[in-house]
Structure 1
């Protein structure tokens, strides 16, 4: 195994079990490892630190995965990691919920691997060269452990570019998923489209937050922005919302939401779908003098990296300012950020600026986080990407 030696003083993160080492921390390499190859990472004094995937095409040159020197990373090692990840989510799957994230990359010691279960199908995202090299082993192990009807590749994320990998999508094994797979979450049925849907097919990371917000929805007029397949809309209707307005720029999202409304038998007169740019539509509502009891803002990732943070902060501030202006006095704003570069304290500060610009006093009622099938290792706080606030706007 090839040794990668770190510069003096650059070993602390690895010793604390942080899984990322940037290229600038490397002093020398004894050999010429291939991208995605497992290497032995050592401190400047040659002390063993960890094993990890190497990639000279990425700023994150080393993705650490094992800190016990005597351990061999082989098929059994991958099997144990997959079994452990799957077992830790087993209690989440029941009659009311048959979809969740089974493997969450670094959080489960498998950097670059994401596996989502949608009823009898699995959706796979491979975002590192190391996992790409063992793709066939991973597929074989998932077949053995879960016996799905089909495994579909959704490795079309931009993150693959950083590993010098091409985007891929298509059937990996078994049956081709139908155009719409029916899944259940919190007792609500969804038709989801793996092949053409966003991310891996469905945003199961908002499962808990949808249910929390729905408890406030009875007899309320709700605006669900960036609604996608209707998670917040459907939960609000189930819990007695008087009316829900759902807005998304995607025609597929609006079409999927229509399927989901029919699938659950909700009264069509209690819901309106609008295909439009959300910021433009919010301004239109303001001009029309419309008001809502609850506004949900769940935008896409505005800050893919720290370099985009200033621009993202302005976008979040303006979006939330508009949302606050559309609320009845004492109304509820549920606002989220899925940008890992925006931590909770920064997000709170952005919302405070939005409140100041809107001329509103705001109370924090609850803080939202990602659910337990998206765990965060204490040694890898970057894994905590989803955060949100439930606010009362006075």
Structure 2
């Protein structure tokens, strides 16, 4: 291990000495000037890795050492890329004088080698390092629980909620994830007032979390005789879903004594009782005031299990949001899209346009979003935007 630390240290020393060498090609000098912030962030991470490695003992036993070992392991890909960068840079500097060699064959070989090495260094700065500066997401393995609620617009909002639900279910299927509607309530005339859908699959939460917020639709309702465009909204909340669904006394998100459990008879439209047994369940988490009601399943046990699943997802969402806020303090929040009142996207049927207001991206093919795979383009752009913000943080920390 110490040998590895020493090797990393000497690489840094050699690089620093090389920077002082006047024979640096102007193209390389400009490349490093443009990527100076990224290089500084990488150097800071490598120094952190080496310091942690120097502190490690042969027998990792304490929780602190286990956490340090995990951090070192996460930094290994960046360390490998850094070594690759420094070797390519050294090779390029060795090749540079050969571009002026008297032998024409040697000059040609050197030119090809120089171009290849320069391209490798450029890729490191533009793609490899930025991608590795983004730490692994702590929620990357979690499934998702989507809650959709109709907002302004009456029956048109309920119809649009049904359309959005179909978009998410279709997208989940295309990704190989399993989806099931946990709860829903219809309105007179068609459409859904609200719905909760479970999407099970690794990476579902990290992929769909950007969908949290207010979705606005502008279109002419089928019942509108004058052809006037109506504006309606649906609020989507994406929650992290863990595999654990049964309540337990040692849950790390809540204590059972903090949860008030009530059972009652399930009710239908208008409030009438629809069964003779007390199968409906309502949970109240006293410290936060969160209330979850569940009555769609046939038995009290199933409704209770589902209710605890939703409660756990909502509490986990709060915990993740608080952790990010504490870690970032006054910096711009990554979870700003989780602001439930923020208008995040507009679906304009008259203009055949869908616009995401957070990143200013518009697609002039509404049908591809609602009926095809167009939603993927928004999700991918939002993911890249998030990774860019994380990388900017890493660069800022290295100043």
Per the normalisation by structure 2, the TM-score is 0.21
Per the normalisation by structure 1, the TM-score is 0.21
Q: Which has the larger radius of gyration?
A: 2
| Higher relative contact order, structure no. (Cα contacts within 8 Å, ≥ 6 residues apart) | 2
Greater percentage in strand: 1
